[in-house]
């Protein structure tokens, strides 16, 4: 067998949790930092709480609130789309002189 194919195993790896709890275990890295451990995980403590490390719960609630505020009916969506189309057509130049003016302005 080849020599040095396996990583170094540390029998005294220190694991530190975000709650402040520390314990010793074995691993291939000398130190581990975790966000949730047996001391603070809801399954082991029996307490119901959100384990939200990246703000996912707050982001989800904000997204849901935003969606509920902006509920549009199908008819309203159609009306807005039609208004945008009319506005876009009104912005187009009517004459060849206006078209040349716009082209000259965009060229500079």
Domain ranges in the chain are 7-51, 73-108
Supply the pLDDT for residue 51: 61
Tokens of 92: 């187009």
CATH class of 7-51: few secondary structures
* CB within 8 Å of 14: residues ≥ 6 apart: 22, 23, 24, 30, 31, 32
Distance CA 105, CA 38 (A): 67
At 31, is the pLDDT very low, low, confident or very high (cuts 50, 70, 90)? very high
Residues pairing with 34 in the sheet: 17
Tens-digit pLDDT profile for residues 42-94: 776 777 666 666 677 788 888 888 877 777 788 988 999 999 999 999 988 88
* CB within 8 Å of 102: residues ≥ 6 apart: 93
DSSP state of 8: P
């Amino acid at each position: 067998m080849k020599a040095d194919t396996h990583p170094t195993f540390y029998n005294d790896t220190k694991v530190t949790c975000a709650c402040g709890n520390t314990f010793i275990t074995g691993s291939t890295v000398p130190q581990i930092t975790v966000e949730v451990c047996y001391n603070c995980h809801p399954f082991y403590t029996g307490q119901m709480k959100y384990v939200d490390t990246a703000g996912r719960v707050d982001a989800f609630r904000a997204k849901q609130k935003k969606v509920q505020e902006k509920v549009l009916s199908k008819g309203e969506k159609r009306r807005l789309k039609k208004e945008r189309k009319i506005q876009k057509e009104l912005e187009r130049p009517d004459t060849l002189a206006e078209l040349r003016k716009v082209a000259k302005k965009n060229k500079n």
